[in-house]
Amino acid sequence: MSATAWAWLVLLFPLLGSIAIAIGYRSIPARAAGTIGTVAVALAFACGVAALANLLGEHPDARHHASSLWDYASAAGLDIELGIFVDPLSVFMVLVVTGVSALIHLYSFGYMQSDEGYHRFFSYLNFFVFSMLLLVLAGNFVLLIVGWAFVGFASYALISFWYRRTTATGAGMKAFVINVIGDIGLVLAALLIFRELGSFDYGTVFARAPEAFSVNEWTVTAICLLLMVGAFAKSAQLPLHTWLPDAMEGPTPVSALIHAATMVTAGVYLIARTHVLFELSPTAADVAAFIGLATLLVAGSIALVVTDMKRIIAYSTMSQIGYMVVGVSIGAYGAGLFHLMTHAFFKALLFMAAGSIIAAMANEQNIDKMSGFGRAMRFTSATMLTGGLALAAFPGASGFFSKDEILAYATARGGMYLIFTVLGYLGALLTAVYTFRLIFRILPGRPCEEAQELIDSGHVAHGPPRNPATGEAEDTDIGFPGAEHHIAEQSWPMKVAMGVLAFLALFGGLIQIPGVDDAITKFLDPVFVNSPLAAIRPSVAASWTGLAIGAAISLGGIGIAYWLYVLRPQTSAMLIRRLRPLYTLLVNKWYFDEAIDLLVVRPALAIGRFANRTFERLVVDGLVSGAEDAVGGAGRLVRVVQSGFVRSYALLLIGGFAGLALYFLLASQ
Amino acid sequence: MNIEWYIVLSSLLFAVGAIGILIRRSPIVILLCLELMLNAGNLALVAFSRMVGNQEGQVFALVVMVVAACEVVVGLGLIVAVFRRRLPLDVDELRELRG
């Protein structure tokens, strides 16, 4: 079978799984639904591997195939096909998405066991995977937009999964609205591309673009900026990032799947996919890179003070995606996508471990109330530590190689791009500190009540169900997590998923070590073969220097965290007192929500209120009631004649005829 | 005989009918007056037909009689219906359809 046939199968399995679970939810037992969902994604992963094997069997220059099932629309110069595009980039994304998703499905199989909406959950999850695969496999911008919007919907459905929680439905709406802003950007970009280049098809667009546009022409810059709006809304970059921390209202596997491993990387994929356009507009690419840089610093700084466990990891996700965006925007495509992959491993792992601990805490997410889980949950703690080491770029772990490769590229490109190296290392320091703040707060120390209960009796703590965000009692009808909680220590599917990811998080970086091997970059090379930027390669010596600096910074950051949170636990309180204004700024997340509220929401509401109170009342109502009054007034005039007296009608008739007769008589004289 | 006399008679009959409709209130009398006006028309038609010397006017007079008969049927039917419902037989009282 050809690579494209396998790619179609990749799309087919999750779609079938989603439909089967959704239609059969009454007759399928819960465990079977979980199995169907997991197996569907695992099969998709297997097909992805088969497609990879097919591609590897071909000459590198021939590794791109388009395939189409049928025409959506074919008229007057417009030709939109239901077509996919299989090349190393899309296969790479397919493997990351399906691989991590399959493990997350497996994890959910155990974690969501007592949830009231088990079928619904797996149906949504499979639909999400299908949408994401459609997004990465699409062969033209129209299908890309379809996948893009599906992903947005799936994300909404999963964030609001526990729909009895008002905070969850609110967060879902927020995510959806911000994603739609991105969709609009993407749609406008696609239309502009069609106007300028006359096609939606990837192959045609990227072949025509270099001839059609001169460098930094305003049209191509506009296209790139609009694409960025789409990419940054999905990838939670400034200032469209506010939905991601709120999205933590969803179930923890959802946070792992959508808000760490897959959906949020769509923006990175989009920039890599349209790198031809971005290289024609260095201005737009630089803007994107600086936004990525700003995001990685802002998010990293917020993660230092947040106390909600999942939100810390969410801000760290934003920060890491900032690195990827910097990477693919400055031309380090291989490095950016490599970081995407390793990040998917260790971030999914961190979320899974967090989910396990949250379950043990009976849904409490505040890290101030946690401590001593190192003894209570050995497996979970070990995996969390692994994920933390990879995230903090501990020497040898996967994040170490991928993050530093982006920074090494920035150094190699030189000039202005040295800023990215310097501030990137600053971000790395923040990363190490906030990651180990999380770990040192939770794992060591005297066990908290829940951890003690787990040590003493092996029972998971239970409490009355409460909304972790607001503390209010939960509506325990359907659409709530269920009274039972499941931790990795007591559930083999969770254990397997976390074990595999821990292995990948620890050793996944070894496939691309400077001077030793470069599997990812080499595999992706055919996609970026015409790009002069991708040809820049940092020297091995420079890379290792960078790695050494990275290692020092990572260890330094971990040391700082150790000093702050283990040796001198009172220091952080002292720092908070000393730096009160800075702390307030960070705790309030740099006031982005408030700024958006002030700049966008309030003006929009004011316009709405004006439209309602003034425009609607005066202009619209005025026109409508004016027309009504005119008709009514005319009717009132005519009604006077309709007296109901037959004889007066007759008199009018006869008088009228007499008058006419007289007139004609006189006129004929 | 001169045509003027017929025309004068026809006009007089028409005027009598018209005035009757205007001043009487009983529906029956109004119907009678309507018949009078129609027949005034008939008389004029026949007279003109004789004057011109063809039969077309007389054919028209026959058509008018048919129409008049139909109209009387409808009119008398209305009057009977009004009577059965014990409503006053007075056209000035029957004015529910006023605007």
B91/A contact by beta carbon, under 8 A = yes
Residues A258-275 have a mean pLDDT of 86
Statement: residue A231 has pLDDT above 80: yes
Position B1 scores a pLDDT of 66
Statement: residue A475 has pLDDT above 80: no
Nearest Cα of chain A lies from the Cα of B66 at a distance, in angstroms, of: 23
**Residue of B14, B19, B21 to mutate for A, most A C-beta atoms under 10 A:** B21
Cβ atoms A488, A380 nearer than 8 A: yes
Q: What is the mean pLDDT of chain A?
A: 85
Q: How many CB pairs under 8 A join A and B?
A: 38
Percent of chain A exceeding pLDDT 90 equals: 9
Residues B5-27 have a mean pLDDT of 91
Position B40 scores a pLDDT of 94
- Residue burial A253-286, b: 16+ Cβ < 10 Å; e: rest: bbbbbbbbbbbbbbbbbbbbbbbbbbbbbbebbe
Question: What is the predicted ipTM?
Answer: 0.82
Position B99 scores a pLDDT of 62
Nearest Cα of chain B lies from the Cα of A653 at a distance, in angstroms, of: 10
Range from A361-375, A438-452, A619-633 that averages highest in pLDDT: A619-633
The shortest CB-CB distance from A647 to any of B91, B96, B99 is to: B91
B94/A contact by beta carbon, under 8 A = yes
Q: What is the mean pLDDT of chain B?
A: 89
Question: What is the distance between the alpha carbons of residues A79 and A60, in angstroms, rounded to a whole number?
Answer: 29
Angle of CA points A107, A39, A247, to nearest 5°: 45
Q: Which residues pair with A513 in a beta bridge?
A: A517
B1/A contact by beta carbon, under 8 A = no
Instruction: Residue A99: name the closest of A625, A545, A505 by CA.
Output: A505
Q: Chain A partners of B79 at a C-beta cutoff of 8 Å?
A: none
Question: What is the distance between the alpha carbons of residues A297 and A430, in angstroms, rounded to a whole number?
Answer: 8
pLDDT interval class at A641 (50, 70, 90): confident
Q: Which residue has the higher pLDDT, A511 or A95?
A: A95
Statement: residue A417 has pLDDT above 90: no
Statement: residue A466 has pLDDT above 70: yes
3-state secondary structure A566-608: HHCHHHHHHHHHHCHHHHHHHHCHHHHHHHHHHHHHHHHHHHH
Burial of A82 (0-12, 13-18, 19+ CB in 10 A): middle
Indicate the range of A225-234, A252-261, B53-62 predicted with least confidence: A252-261
Q: Chain A partners of B94 at a C-beta cutoff of 8 Å?
A: 644, 646
Residues A163-181 have a mean pLDDT of 87
**Residue of B24, B33, B91 to mutate for A, most A C-beta atoms under 10 A:** B91
Burial of A607 (0-12, 13-18, 19+ CB in 10 A): exposed
Range from A177-191, A201-215, A258-272, A451-465 that averages highest in pLDDT: A177-191
pLDDT interval class at A397 (50, 70, 90): confident
- Taking domain B3-84, whether its CATH number is 1.10.287.3510 is answered by yes
Phi, psi (rounded to 5 degrees) for A113: -45, -45
Position B80 scores a pLDDT of 92
Q: Chain B partners of A654 at a C-beta cutoff of 8 Å?
A: 18, 21-22
Question: What is the distance between the alpha carbons of residues A248 and A259, in angstroms, rounded to a whole number?
Answer: 8
Residues A68-72 have a mean pLDDT of 78
Do A647 and B92 make contact, defined as CB atoms within 8 angstroms? Answer: yes
Instruction: Residue A6: name the closest of A93, A84, A120 by CA.
Output: A84
Position B46 scores a pLDDT of 92
DSSP string, B37-78: HHHHHHHHHHHHHHHHTSSHHHHHHHHHHHHHHHHHHHHHHH
Cβ atoms A206, A197 nearer than 8 A: no
Angle of CA points A469, A475, A476, to nearest 5°: 115
The shortest CB-CB distance from A651 to any of B22, B25, B91 is to: B22
Residue spans per domain, chain B: 3-84
Task: Quote the distance between the C-alpha of residue A187 and its chain's center.
Answer: 17
How many residues does the structure list for chain B?
A: 99
Instruction: Residue A234: name the closest of A299, A183, A285, A187 by CA.
Output: A183
Is the pTM here over 0.95, yes or no? Answer: no
